[in-house]
Structure formats: structure tokens, C-alpha cells
Amino acid sequence: MFLNKKILLLFLCVGFYSCGSVSSNNPGSNSTVEASDWLLPKEEVVNGGVAKDGIPSLDDPSFKQTSEIEYVDDERLILGVKIDGIIKGYPHQVMDHHEIVNDQNGNQPFSLTYCPLTGTGIAWDRTIQGETVEFGVSGLLFRNNLIPYDRKTDSNYSQMQMRGVQGERKGKRLSTFQVIQTTWKTWKHMFPKAKVLSSNTGYDRNYSQYLYGKEYLEENSKPLFPIHAESEKVLGGRPYKERVYGIFQKDTNIEKAQPETFVIDEFGNGINLKNTLVGGTNYVVAGSSDLDFAVAFEKELSGKELDFEPIQDSLPVIMKDQEGNHWDIFGYAVEGPRKGQRLEPALAYYGYWFAFGDFFIWN
């Protein structure tokens, strides 16, 4: 009986010790963040489920020629840039796993960022205070959207707001580059010799899979994290994952931005053009449902407003103007008196309809 009491006491002591206070600890973290330090509503910033750099950025990317790439299916999407005259493609299949590629074309360092949850792909200059820096995945999300951080100042950024939102770089706008998005089938046709991100990334991943499930790409499937009730109202019953191309006013106050959105599937087959006025600037928007892209450029070049009409079956050339210039998908004149000149790309990116609605429309 005496032994029984001692044993019971032992268990109870252990039990009481176990009932200690609940705590959260981050001894190894290199950032201690005050609530007032954020430009975003703090209560809407959430941990997406991975550690900082738990989704590893690609910092030494390797590329192959388009024709040598075998891991991408025709209907899968690819992001593309033309920076310093070099065209590069970044298939979603790799970007789903890494979200950020720290890259360089010529003398221009840039980061290509992609958020699989909002479907937004944005490239920006990764020069900070004259120094080339790397961006990484913080593991945090704001309204489903990627929050990258830079490894020099440890500042956090909102991808869709294209600016620093916490830390030393808070409030600093990022200088972006035009990004196109299309299917692998269209890409192969347009740029058979371009460089495309290789699946040889240095990481052991299954790049053939749909990382967030094929269902996540279905138009009517819901976002991973909830969106505002107000956003639900302004979505107007349109599918959450309808892919749109949003054009922002130049020098816009991003917090109050009201981007003009174009639904990719509403351009119709072949290449079609739309004219739009955003913040006092006239833009031509070229898009195609079956070829699966949209791009927008300022209509005015060198003080003259150009009028465009589409060119079919000549990709990557998409339109011509009244002067006889032929323009490609990156806005370069490839033929005509302005050959070599470039139309000014709009501040714009692709994304899911719900993301634009939740980020901008209802604000």
C-alpha cells in the first residue's frame, strides 16, 4: 500500500509537470516582428504551413532549350520573361515547388516569383541598395498570397502588392518586369529555342505532379484559405479560379488600387485586341482564349498614339500598327520602321479572379 501511494505520487508529479503553461518559442528565428511593423492587417497574415525557406527558392537555376524539355505537358502553364534580350520560361510545375527563382540575365538580376494559391507570377529587380540579393519564401501568406522575404534585410514583401510590407524595406516599391503566361503548347510554338527552367534543380521533387491537386486548378474550386465575405460579394458569382489579367494604374497607390481585369477565356479564339483606359493611360490588351495569354502595352510610343490590329498565326508576333510595325508578345517591334523599339508594358500580372477580388476590388 505504501508503494502504491509513492507510485501514485510519482505519476501525479509527472502529470502536474506536464500541465505547464502553453507557450510559443522561436529561439532560432532571425526576425522578431512587432505587430505595428506591418503595412498589412496583421490578423490576416498567416503561416502557410511551412518554415521559412521550407519551400526552397532556386538560387542557381539551370536551363535547357525548350525543345529539350520533356517534363512539361502541353496544357500546363509556363511563365516567361524577356530581360536583357534573353527569353526564359519557368513552368508552373517547377514553380509550384519553389515559388521563387533568383535569376540573372546579362547584368540584370531579377527574381521570378509565383504564388500557386493565387496564380500570380511577378518578376522584379533584386537589386537592393546597389547589391544583388536573394529572395526566399517566408512561409507566410496574406490573403492566400505569397510573402517573400529578402535575405539581405530580412524584410517581408507582399507579392501582389509588389512592395515591402515589413522590416527595413517596408513601403518600398519593387521594380517589376513584364511576365507572360501561356500554355506549354503555345510556348513551344513561340519560342522553340528559348531557355526553360530545367527539372534538374538540385532538389528531389516530383515535378510531374499537380502539387496542390488538379482540383485546385478547377475554376469553381475554392481558395485554400478563406476570403473576405465582402470579396465573395464582389466576385459576382464568377468562378474563383477564373484566370484573369489585371492592369494597374502606373504609380498607383497599391493599397487602393482598382486594377482593370480581363478574363483570359473571354478573349475568344485567335488573337483579339481590346483598348482600355487605366488611370489616364491608353492601353492595348492582346489576348487569346485558345492560345491562352494576355498582354498589355501603352498605346503611345515616342509621343505618338498607335492603333493596332491583331496578326494571326505568326506567334510570337501578335499585332501590327498603322505605321506597318509588327509587334511581338513582349512588345518589341520585329518588323517595320520602329524595329527594335519596345512598347511600354503595362504594370500587370496574371492571377485568379478571387485573388484580385480579395486583394483589391472590395477595398
Partner 1 sequence: MRSYYLLIPILLLTVAGPINAMAQTCSCAGAPLISSQSISSTSRGNFLLGFTMDHNQITDLYSGDNELQNNTTERSTQSALLELNYGITNRITIAGTATYVRKRRLGIQSNDEVITRGIGDALVLLKYVLHQNTIRSQYQLAVGSGVKIPTGKSNLTRNGIALNLDMQPGTGAWDGVFWTYFSKTFVPASTMNLFLYSTYRLTGTANRFGETDRYKFGNEWVANLGATNSITSDLSYIAMLNYRSTKSDQRNGQIQPNTGGYWLHLEPALQYTLSDGLSVKISGKLPLYQYLNGLQPTTTYTASVSLFYNFGKRVIF
Of 1-9, 124-132, 256-264, 278-286, the window that binds partner 1 (rule: CB under 8 A) is 1-9
Give the Cβ contact number of residue 242 at 10 Å: 19
Q: Is residue 230 near partner 1 by the rule CB under 8 A?
A: no
Q: Is residue 32 near partner 1 by the rule CB under 8 A?
A: yes
Q: Is residue 167 near partner 1 by the rule CB under 8 A?
A: no
Q: Which of residues 111-140 bind partner 1 (CB under 8 A)?
A: 136, 139-140
Q: Is residue 45 near partner 1 by the rule CB under 8 A?
A: yes
Residue 247-286 contact track with partner 1, rule CB under 8 A, x = bound: ----------------------------------------
Binding-residue total with partner 1 (CB under 8 A): 58
Q: Which three cell numbers stand for residue 28?
A: 532560432
Q: Is residue 20 near partner 1 by the rule CB under 8 A?
A: yes
- Omega of the bond leading into 316 within 30 degrees of 0 (cis): yes
**CA dihedral for 66, 68, 71, 75, sign (positive or negative):** positive
Choice from 129, 130, 193, 229 touching partner 1 (CB under 8 A): 229
SS3 182: strand
- Separation of alpha carbons 14 and 194, rounded Å: 65
Q: Is residue 33 near partner 1 by the rule CB under 8 A?
A: yes
- Separation of alpha carbons 236 and 220, rounded Å: 13
**Chain CA centroid to CA 347, Å:** 13
Choice from 2, 9, 29, 107 touching partner 1 (CB under 8 A): 29
- Separation of alpha carbons 263 and 265, rounded Å: 5
For residue 116, give the nearest of 86, 150, 133, 93 by alpha carbon: 93
Of 210-218, 243-251, 254-262, 336-344, the window that binds partner 1 (rule: CB under 8 A) is 210-218
For residue 290, give the nearest of 312, 309, 308 by alpha carbon: 312
Q: Is residue 41 near partner 1 by the rule CB under 8 A?
A: no
Nearer to partner 1, 209 or 363 (CB): 209
Q: Is residue 19 near partner 1 by the rule CB under 8 A?
A: yes
Q: Which three cell numbers stand for residue 91?
A: 513552368
Find out whether 117 and 217 touch, Cβ atoms under 8 Å.
no
Nearer to partner 1, 56 or 310 (CB): 56
Nearer to partner 1, 16 or 280 (CB): 16
Q: Is residue 24 near partner 1 by the rule CB under 8 A?
A: yes
Choice from 131, 204, 251, 313 touching partner 1 (CB under 8 A): 204
Which residues, listed in sequence order, are joined to residue 273 by a DSSP beta bridge? 286
**CA-to-CA dists, residue 122 to 115, 118, 220, 348, 351, angstroms:** 9, 12, 24, 9, 10
Q: Is residue 52 near partner 1 by the rule CB under 8 A?
A: yes
Which residues here bind partner 1, judged by CB under 8 A? Answer: 3-4, 7-8, 11, 14-15, 18-35, 42, 45-56, 97, 136, 139-140, 203-206, 209, 211-213, 215-216, 221-222, 224-226, 229
